[in-house]
Structure 1
Amino acid sequence: MKTEQQVAIKPIIWTISGSDCSGGAGIAADIKTGHGLGVEVCHLITANTVQNSHQLLSVNAISVELLQQQAAVLMDDKPPSVIKIGLVANAEQVQWLAQLIEQIKQVIPTLISVYDPVGQASVGGSFNNLTLEQLSPLLLKIDVITPNLMEAKSLAKLDGLPDKNSAEKLANKIHQNFAINSIIVKGGHIHSDDRYSIDFCLHQLNQLNGKQDNQDKAQTAISYQLGALRIDSHYSHGGGCSFASALASFLAQGYLIRDAFTLAKAFISQGLSTSKQVSELHGHQYYGAFEQQGWPRNAECFPQVIDELSQQYQNLPAFNSLDLAEKKLGLYPVIDSLYWLKRLLSLGLEIIQLRVKNLAESELEQVIITAIALAKKYDTRLFINDYWQLAIKHGAYGVHIGQEDLQDADLTAIQQSGIRLGISTHGCYEFLSAQRLQPSYLAIGAIFPTKTKDMTGQIQGIDNLRQVLSLRPENKHKIPVVAIGGINLERAAEVIATGVESIAVVTAITEAECSHGISPEQAVTRLQF
């Protein structure tokens, strides 16, 4: 049983939206979503609506004076890490919200605001008559926006009927108009014969959670695209609200936008899948509420990552396996010199990685030649970090490539050479993407903070590690996973208990004498499994 100190305080999100008396959307959906995903939800109701599953009759706005009183009293003991905004009923509420976000950010610079633009009701009718000009003060303050394609068209002020291929153009235009940091355009509302629903995210790097890099004034944008099989369910009322609330909940728990985006998409697929059977029984006769099912853990509900790398290599055969049979890789030391390689090779390890930096080209090549020759004498799987050309040239067992170098590597050349490939990943988005390349193993980290590399914003923890492990397909070709980052003698057991095939360590061995008063060889013995 966890002690009081070990039980983490739940992150707090505020949802500021309308009340749907039919229970499907708005505040009701936000509360159910947030509670199911492990956050505390405080709610401020902007309007009471009169609606059911067939029609919207009226929208009755709440005064900004009352909303301000609620916000002020909540700030005293339940300040938010994320604010999720839905229905905004009038121009007065727009102005108040813009000022509220600005005021809270002065106290909480890391605050993230997520806006799900609610204009049209799914049953027909409008929630407000706000023009884009009237809405602009809020749009200029928010961090993340989650429109569907039709809403994105309105925000971008572009003519023509949007389709799934126009999401990137719309997102860029919205960013140009309002400088919103992250724009997620949902593709589920476009009716087509395409079996896939594709969502697009445009994200300005280093612009969320108060982490702007002031040394680099130029904003660098990156895009993420996720596809999922369309699920026909008439229990979808409140799905848009639930997506935005799920995204807010994951962001509140420290996930990067790419992983929060991935998890939110999986959350929606999971809910729609749950209600598919009952929806088929009732046909088109009933419009039911979306079913929030808690944390997405089923690999089948997770989306497919659509990126240039996986598309470029979609026909590339799988990389050679590690030939493990029924064995696990076990301990995976990562060392930076021939000295440490020679010291560890005689200890019966299945795998070692040589990660050398800052050597002249001629010296580097000779070190790699020597390392490969030494490892072959002991029949140890030696992976060379980064230098894939030299690994191929000198017949290394394998090469390990990080995300930052993956785009520049020639994966076809690596695969055709017959050497093995290991890839670093940091979170579910990168794991799903790298898994499609069918490497020899996948590394996931950093599990804990580490002295060897700054992993701010990418610390996975044990729960995330378990979740990532569940994303592997259940078949005999399951790719081995290596956990890495901050794993020491005290933490190793709980990492191994997740079921990983290997744990990678650096200082747990090389600094064992200083940290634990034991030899590196003794540390290896304790860490092996």
Structure 2
Amino acid sequence: MTKPNKPIIWTISGSDCSGGAGIAADIKTGHALGVEVCHLTTANTVQNSEKLVSINPVDVDILSQQAELLLTDKMPNVIKVGLLANIEQVKWLSVWLSEVKERNSSIKVVYDPVGQASVGGKFSHLSVSDLRLFLKMVDVITPNSHEAQWLATSKSIEVKALAVDIMKLGVNSVIIKGGHAFTEGASNEDFCTDYCLHTLTDDDSSKMSEDETIEYALRSAKVDTNYSHGGGCSFASALAAFIAHGHLVRDAFTLTKAFINQGLSKNAGKHDHYGAFEQTYCPTEKSFFPTVSSSINHKYRKLAAFKSLGLKRQTHNPNSMNNTGEQKLGLYPVIDSLYWLKRLLPLGLQIIQLRIKNKTEAELDAIIAEAVELAKPYQTRLFINDYWQLAIKHGAYGVHIGQEDLQTTPIEQIHKAGIRLGISTHGCYEFLLAQQLKPSYLAIGAIYPTKTKNMTGQIQGVANLAELLNLATDIPVVAIGGINHERAPEVLATGVDSIAVVTGITEAESPEESVRLFQKLLGHT
């Protein structure tokens, strides 16, 4: 069996003869987002843009034969499930998915619980009880608000309560789409908030919570259009495609929201009839990306921007005519001792981060106090990793915190002290969340696998770095993780403002020569 050039998703769903929803939407979405799509048709429907006439289920034996044959050469990364037309199909799929996941535990299942057609009429008469065994095989479920209320036992109108109830059915993650009704628990005609309750896994190495679950909410202005037929199918298949490309749920969720916003915007203002949602391409334009609605962003929504680094900067487009050659942040060494600080400070660097681990409080106090004094005669901006209280106490230039520390670090105190703030991010969700806090700089990583930290599931790669830079504002962006002299040119070609380097300097045969070579690559001599 030859290895496919693209990730593979399967769609197990119904056929919409009008071409707007179901398998037609899934295939168009998958191809738009660079995945190969295999399809198993559960039912042939008779419908158009005005009404649903009939559902004609496909025999389970045919579905079983198709699935087993496809497994021999088209093993899926993700399986998207839509319309299940009868209890026989549910029973077969429940058993089959259990067997497949035993053979390949990495396969994810995304379920769009299609209950009622947008034009009216029910697709099936299945009950929640009928679906219980199947739902235990589901990784992500994507109901709209009406479907969520059907699935939940509490019958609440509060989105989190609904998600908690649905998660009890055995699914790992619940995404409730807000376009049909509530926005963050209340009706809002101008905005739509999609909500995700996600079970933390070993892949979520940048955790912002000690709980077993974490919430994500994404808010966008509603798009005024009637061209939304198949939007729910497209949402679930886009989510499946982004997961198949290796994105974590939070980032796949964010990219999917942008994809839907982009597709709806293609027909903004059109109301001539109930038209098909337009599947476009992978979103890159910042205007289509949502706002992150989180407790952190809400808490600090009125906080002014943190002090800047005081450097003029280029556009993030390396080919833009607006590039002026003005000084950028440049090389950003991350070191773990006063020894390295003393050795690197004389080399004319714009910025250094001191990241100390495994010291007592008294030792940390003394080290940070000395570090700040050592940096004073130089123009180098000294950032202290994590220890914001000591950074404030000793008057450091800035403090750097990880995404996992945002919940517990009172960043308003850092702001009040007048020192700068840098924040780590891993993927588009965290990048947008941190960007809304208006820090002094943002770090993105890990670009490549790194020796210093386990970044399982969070390797960004150069292509993803370039896409993230499309979402950047005037806040400087630093790339970090596994960057050496050989890799630096392709990282810098993205237009990123700075590259952070750890072992590429501290494990070099000649650290000073390594710094000079990095500076040369950065255009700093």
Superposition TM-score, scaled by structure 2 size: 0.92
Shift of residue 100, structure 1, vs aligned partner: 1.4
Q: Give the corresponding residue for 2:247.
A: 255
User: What's the counterpart of residue 227 of structure 1?
Assistant: 219
What runs of 5+ residues in structure 2 fail to find an aligned partner? 313-325
Q: Counterpart in 2 of 1:200?
A: 195
Q: 1:142 and 1:410 mapped to 2: Cα distance?
A: 37
Q: Which residue of 1 aligns with 2:321?
A: none
1:170-204 CA distance string (max 9 Å, x none): 0001112x121000011101174431101111111
Which sits farther off after the overlay, 462-471 or 239-248?
Answer: 462-471
Mapped contact 1:181–1:208 kept (Cα < 8 A): no
Question: Which stretch of the first structure deviates more once superposed, 151-160 or 427-436?
Answer: 151-160
Mapped to 1, the partners of 2:23 and 2:165 lie a distance apart of 30
1:80 alignment partner in structure 2: 76
Name the CA distance, whole Å, in 2 between partners of 1:168 and 1:435. 25
Q: 2:515 aligns with which of 479, 501, 524?
A: 524
Counterpart check, 1:448 vs 2:439: no
Deviation of 1:208 after TM superposition, in Å, equals 7.8
> In structure 1, what is the equivalent of residue 464 of structure 2?
464
For 2:15, the equivalent position in structure 1 comes to 19
CA contact (8 A) 1:152 1:170 kept: yes
Counterparts in 2 of 1:242-391, with a 5 A limit? 242-277=234-269, 279=270, 283=271, 285-325=272-312, 326-391=326-391
* 1:8 CA displacement: 8.2
Q: CA deviation at 1:207?
A: 7.3
- Structure 1 unmatched runs, 5+: 212-217, 514-518
Q: Which amino acid aligns with 2:174?
A: I
Q: Aligned partners of 2:406 and 2:193: how far apart in 1?
A: 24
Q: Which amino acid aligns with 2:177?
A: K
C-alpha separation in 2, matches of 1:465 and 1:132: 42
Superposed displacement of residue 485, structure 1? 0.5
Q: 1:191-226 CA deviation, whole Å, 9 max, x = no partner?
A: 7443110111111111789x9xxxxxx970111111
Instruction: Say whether residues 1:188 and 2:183 are aligned partners.
Output: no
Deviations 1:268-287 (A, max 9, x none): 0010011114x1xxx3x311
Is the CA contact (8 Å cut-off) linking 1:143 and 1:208 kept in structure 2? no
Partner of 1:68: 64
Aligned pairs (5 A) from 1:39-188: 39-159=35-155, 162=157, 166-176=158-168, 178-188=169-179
* 1:231–1:276 CA contact under 8 A, matched in 2: yes
Match of 1:215 in 2: none
* Inter-partner Cα distance in structure 2 for 1:39 and 1:28: 15
| Aligned mates of 1:48, 1:386 — CA distance in 2 | 58
Q: Is the 8 A contact 1:112 1:208 kept in 2?
A: no
Q: What letter matches 2:401 in structure 1? A: I
In the alignment, the residues of structure 2 paired with residue 401 and residue 183 of structure 1 have an alpha-carbon distance, to the nearest angstrom, of: 29
Amino acid at match of 1:184: I
Match of 1:30 among 15, 26, 29: 26
Deviation per CA, 1:138-181: give whole Å up to 9, x if none.
Answer: 12221110001110111013446x3xxx11110001112x1210
* Matched position secondary structure for 1:457: coil
Query: Which AA in structure 2 matches 1:527?
Result: F
Are 1:425 and 2:425 matched, yes or no? yes
How many residue pairs get aligned? The number is: 498
Secondary structure in structure 2 of the residue aligned to 1:512: coil
Quick check: 2:441–2:475 contact (8 Å CA) kept in 1?
Answer: yes
Q: Distance in 2 between matches of 1:128 and 1:29?
A: 19
Counterpart-to-counterpart distance in 2, 1:193 and 1:114 = 28
Structure 1 residue 30, shift from structure 2 partner? 0.4
Distance 1:208 1:86, change over 3 A: farther
**Retained in 1: the 8 A contact 2:177–2:193?**
yes
What is the RMSD computed on CA atoms of the aligned residues?
1.7
Q: Tell me the equivalent position of 1:516.
A: none
**Letter paired with 2:234:** S
CA distance in 2, matches of 1:220, 1:410: 23
| CA drift at 1:119 | 0.9
Structure 1 residue matching 2:228: 3-state secondary structure: coil
Give the conservation status (yes or no) of the 8 Å contact 2:301–2:437. yes
Determine the C-alpha separation between the residues in 2 that align with 1:327 and 1:499: 13
Give the deviation of 1:340 after TM superposition: 0.8
Q: Give the 3-state SS of the residue equivalent to 1:443 in structure 2.
A: strand
What SS does the aligned partner of 2:266 have?
helix
Q: Are 2:155 and 2:162, in contact at CA under 8 Å, matched by a contact in 1?
A: no
Question: How many angstroms apart in 2 are the aligned matches of 1:365 and 1:377?
Answer: 20
Structure-2 separation of matches of 1:130 and 1:8: 36
- What's the TM-score once normalised by structure 1's chain length? 0.92
Partner secondary structure for residue 275 of structure 1:
coil
